[in-house]
């Protein structure tokens, strides 16, 4: 029997702190007028303090998505986090999210495809479902770009913001959900949008910090040119693969990078503006989080209805591009959960935290008590002590017995 990957839950989280264009004009030589006319952005959200990170935003978006799906985290088979700003290079942010949610049965991994990451994740998640390897997959796009933004560089600092969006994919026998995806890459453009240091090419050093190589470096005009061509092309291709004409598409949700990119690329598709969703002016470019955040807001604003045909399309660092054709399967609006179910969910998340603490404590205890480790430790210390004694007495070193090697 055919299996389909339906979107049954969605959620988003943006930090409370708002940074307006006027705020930015007090930091660098720019103006609200320049930013609005060149990009369409009025304000963006920025994380504050050390406690707000990519994983904390991702967890909040994920919980909201699980609530809409009315699904317990234990039912998840996989957690995919698309991000270019993970909490750490490793472990994967997805593992931190998996632990915080208590998604004990789920595999977890990060995915870096720049701003196209969420749609890449949607494609992989739906393939896991359609192939029968998973029944429920959580796909998250989450970023804290403010942490890699050079606040002295007016070319880039006006563009980016922080946030997270998530969807829950579920196996279904009802035709619909993710009907087709198109993924692409052109690594020859990798240097157009790059975080130069912190990897194996330029490991972190005093020099890389002094040279500002841990910040976003972008050749804006070239990225602009690439974006305007590729978004229209990818949208066309994915509609064709799904067997749709562009006239049948109810709403296009493009990556929110620049209003001029959206207008000029989708203008090529000759779609009326009401069929293109944009919330860029409030959040700026949140990279992998931009499409799922826009999807959530399109639902909230009543722009999506059951059976609607949607195209999600993005481009980004890599260079990469991705598009997904989604047939919306859930009747809207979704009824909120009753209070007792919300309470139950709260208890599950509390339980996940205690479980994580208990596992850490057990691991620590096991380390203390573990026999072989201590034994090896004593053996190593004993032979070092014997070696020192031999050196001190200038005795010739006897050949080593095989058992001591
Ligand atoms: O997710 C993918 C991420 N990247 C993108 O989507 C980026 C795509 N590119 C863009 O969005 C646009 O290229 C930008 C918004 C980055 C720049 O817009 P532009 O119209 O291509 O401007 P420009 O780079 O050609 O610069 C025009 C002028 C320059 O001054 P001069 O050389 O003409 O005197 C810049 O120095 O604007 C100046 N400028 C600014 N002025 C005020 C650049 N940034 C600013 C600024 N405020 N923030």
| Residue 45 belongs to domain with CATH number | 3.40.47.10
Ligand 1 centroid distance, CA of 39 (Å): 8
- Please, what is the average pLDDT of the chain? 93
Pair (258, 301) in one structural domain? yes
Tokens standing for residue 54 = 């990519």
With the most atoms of ligand 1 within 8 angstroms of its CB, the residue from 38, 260, 280 to mutate is 38
Residue listed under structure tokens 């209070």 = 339
The predicted pLDDT at position 50 comes to 86
**Kind plus residue range of the DSSP H or E element containing 174:** none
Is position 125 within any domain? Answer: yes
Query: How far apart, in Å, are the Cα atoms of 204 and each of 83, 151, 210, 217, 261?
Result: 20, 20, 10, 16, 34
Percent with pLDDT over 90 in the chain: 84
- Which of 13, 157, 255, 258 is the catalytic position? 255
Residue 255 bears catalytic tag: yes
Same domain, 326 and 359: no
Task: State the closest ligand 1 atom to the C-alpha of 285, by its place in the atom list counted from 1.
Answer: 1
Pocket test for ligand 1, best of 224, 227, 288, 294 (most atoms within 8 A of CB): 224
Looking at the structure, do residues 175 and 259 belong to the same domain, yes or no? Answer: yes
Strands 4-13 and 136-144: unpaired
Cis peptide bond N-terminal to 115, omega within 30: no
Given the residues 115, 136, 157, 258, the one annotated as active site: 115
Domain assignment of residue 147, yes or no: yes
The residues that bridge with 5 in the sheet, in sequence order, are 171
CA 226 – CA 279 distance, rounded (Å): 22
Catalytic site includes residue 13: no
CA of 354 to the centre of ligand 1 (A): 48
At 380 the pLDDT is 72
Out of 21, 136, 258, 285, which one is annotated catalytic?
285
Q: Residue 348 falls within a domain, yes or no? A: no
E strands within 94-159?
Answer: 107-111, 136-144
Q: Give the number of domains in the chain.
A: 2
Do 140 and 215 belong to one domain? yes
The Cα–Cα gap between 240 and 221 comes to 29
The Cα 172–Cα 163 span in angstroms is 29
Q: Which is nearest to 160 in space by CA: 225, 257, 47?
A: 257
Taking CA atoms only, the protein residue closest to ligand 1 atom 6 is 257
Residue 152: inside a domain: yes
347 occurs within a structural domain: no
127 and 160 in a single domain? The answer is yes
Same domain assignment for residues 308 and 394: no
Ranges under pLDDT 50 in the chain: 402-405
Domain that holds residue 145: 4-195+204-336
Query: Same domain, yes or no, for 150 and 294?
Result: yes
φ, ψ of residue 324 to 5 degrees: the values are -135, 140
Q: What is the pLDDT of residue 224?
A: 95
How far is it, in rounded angstroms, from Cα 386 to Cα 366?
Answer: 30
Residues 6+ apart with CB under 8 A from 281: 36, 40, 41, 42, 43, 259
* Cα 155 to ligand 1 centre (Å): 6
The reply to whether 384 and 310 lie within a common domain is no
pLDDT at 376: 56
CA of 159 to the centre of ligand 1 (A): 9
**d(C-alpha 308, C-alpha 236), whole Å:** 17
C-alpha–C-alpha distance, residues 331 and 177, integer Å: 13
Give a yes or no: residue 391 inside a domain: yes
Ligand 1 cavity residues, CB under 6 Å: 30, 34, 38-39, 115, 154-155, 158, 193, 218, 220-221, 223-224, 227, 257-258, 261, 285, 287, 316
């Amino acid at each position: 029997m055919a299996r389909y990957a339906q979107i049954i839950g969605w959620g988003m989280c943006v930090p409370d702190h708002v940074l307006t264009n006027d705020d930015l004009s007090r930091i660098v030589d720019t103006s609200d007028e320049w930013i609005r006319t060149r990009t369409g952005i009025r304000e963006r959200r920025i994380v504050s303090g050390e406690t707000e990170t990519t994983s904390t935003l991702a967890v909040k978006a994920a919980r909201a998505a699980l609530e809409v799906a009315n699904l317990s985290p234990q039912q998840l088979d996989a957690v995919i986090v698309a991000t270019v700003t993970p909490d750490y290079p490793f472990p994967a942010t997805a593992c931190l999210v998996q632990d915080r949610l208590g998604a004990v049965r789920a595999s977890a991994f990060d995915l870096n495809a720049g701003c196209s990451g969420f749609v890449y994740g949607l494609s992989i998640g739906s393939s896991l479902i359609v192939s029968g390897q998973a029944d429920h997959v959580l796909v998250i796009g989450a970023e804290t770009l403010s942490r890699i933004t050079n606040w002295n560089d007016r070319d880039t600092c006006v563009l980016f913001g922080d946030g997270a969006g998530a969807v829950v994919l579920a196996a279904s026998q009802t035709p619909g959900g993710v009907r087709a995806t198109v993924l692409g890459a052109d690594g020859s453009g990798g240097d157009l949008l790059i975080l130069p240091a912190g990897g194996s090419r330029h490991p972190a050093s005093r020099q890389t910090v002094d040279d500002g190589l841990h910040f976003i470096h972008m050749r804006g005009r070239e990225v602009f040119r690439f974006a305007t061509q590729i978004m229209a092309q990818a949208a066309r291709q994915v509609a064709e693969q799904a067997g749709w004409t562009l006239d049948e598409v109810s709403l296009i949700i493009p990556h929110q990078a620049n209003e001029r990119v959206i207008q000029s690329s989708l203008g090529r598709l000759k779609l009326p503006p009401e069929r293109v969703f944009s919330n860029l002016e409030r959040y700026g470019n949140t990279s992998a989080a931009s499409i799922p955040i826009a999807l959530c807001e399109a639902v909230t604003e009543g722009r999506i209805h059951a059976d609607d045909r949607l195209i999600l399309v993005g481009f980004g660092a890599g260079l990469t591009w991705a598009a997904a054709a989604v047939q919306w399967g859930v009747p809207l609006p979704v009824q909120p959960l009753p209070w007792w179910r919300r309470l139950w969910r709260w208890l599950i998340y509390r339980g996940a935290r205690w479980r994580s603490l208990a596992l850490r404590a057990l691991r620590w205890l096991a380390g203390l008590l573990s026999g072989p480790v201590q034994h090896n430790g004593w053996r190593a210390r004993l032979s070092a002590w014997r070696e020192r004694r031999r050196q001190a007495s200038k005795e010739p070193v006897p050949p080593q017995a095989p058992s001591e090697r």
